[in-house]
Amino acid sequence: MKYDTGKFEGGYRLSHIHQTKRYMFLLQVVIMLAFAIYLLVAGGDFEMKPFYLGINSFLYFVLVMVLLIMVEGFIFIVLEMRFVRSDGTKFIITQRAFRTSATLATVFLIVMLLFWLPIVPAAVESGTQWGKSVETDSTTEPTVISFFNSDALGLTEIDTIDIVAYGEVDVFILTEYNYVLFQDDGKSVIGGYRLNHDEYRANTELTLDFPDLSHGQFYLLVYNMNEDSNVVVDITVNNRVSDSMMNYLPLLCLVFFIANAVWAVSMFFDNKRYKRGGIYR
């Protein structure tokens, strides 16, 4: 329910408070977006070709700024209550504040539980898993598969790569830089730059833990170790929610939930108190 500050007692001061709040919020939103975009560009989280927009640092900064703006909103409500004398007006203000905070607390609680419970990780794993079957026929010329270690927004990243080989093969994972630099130097040289140093030979099954690296293109090389026959290899790539997002998003949601829940409880009791003397029901 909207209210006209000019009709409230102390309307001049309230009008000044609301005008200051609007200007402050507008300025903070402009600064927040400008600085967040700067973080994307300066941190190398934005590329045009191939397109990549890593929003983790952007989202973290935006959420922290939104939290500060939300707390400022609480302070402005306290100032409004200080200059309003009518219990009916205070009833309207506290009722609106309670409903908004209760709704936000519920939303952030749901998001927090989704990330802390295995619902989101399991959904991401099943929804983003992809695979490919290849046939390798050479001990010196590998079958090559290229891929990126995270999606275009940086929300998911590779967790493990499962290899099922119907024969004996060697599997190397290389960064784009090392692959381009050493691809013509033979298996013995390029093998020294593989990311999977310890585990690379698959006779039946092999699971490779993908290292935690920044967004980029990678190459998976499969060498046939059976000189007399081709080998079919099934490759399955398993993804997970980005570690950085899992580290900060649930905790920030918890902070948002606590702040809104405490404020909603405070406004609820204030609303009950002003309801007795108010003219609005």
pLDDT tens track for 199-227: 999 988 999 999 989 899 999 999 999 87
pLDDT band (50, 70, 90) for residue 278: low
pLDDT digits (tens, 9 = 90+) for 157-197: 999 999 999 999 999 999 999 999 999 999 999 999 999 98
Q: Which residue has the higher pLDDT, 103 or 55?
A: 103
Model pLDDT, residue 276: 63
Tokens of 163: 């290899």
pLDDT number for residue 11: 60
pLDDT band at residue 280, thresholds of 50, 70 and 90? very low
Please report where in the chains the tokens 């010196």 appear, as a residue.
140
Q: Would the pLDDT of 9 be above 80?
A: no
Higher-confidence residue of 39 and 147: namely 147
By the 8 A CB rule, do 176 and 217 touch? yes
Class of domain 130-241: mainly beta
Which one is predicted more confidently, 237 or 84?
237
Residue 2 has pLDDT above 70, yes or no: no
Q: Tell me: pLDDT of 5 over 50.
A: no
Quick check: 281 pLDDT over 80? Answer: no
Query: Would you kindly state where each structural domain of the chain is located, as residue ranges?
Result: 5-120+243-277, 130-241
* pLDDT recorded at residue 6: 47
Could you report the per-residue pLDDT of 117-167, keeping only the tens digit for each?
888 888 888 888 999 999 998 888 999 999 999 998 988 999 999 999 999
- pLDDT band of residue 232 (cuts 50, 70, 90) is very high
The per-residue pLDDT for range 235-267, each reduced to its tens digit, is 999 999 988 888 899 999 999 999 999 999 999
| pLDDT category of residue 7 using cuts at 50, 70 and 90 | very low
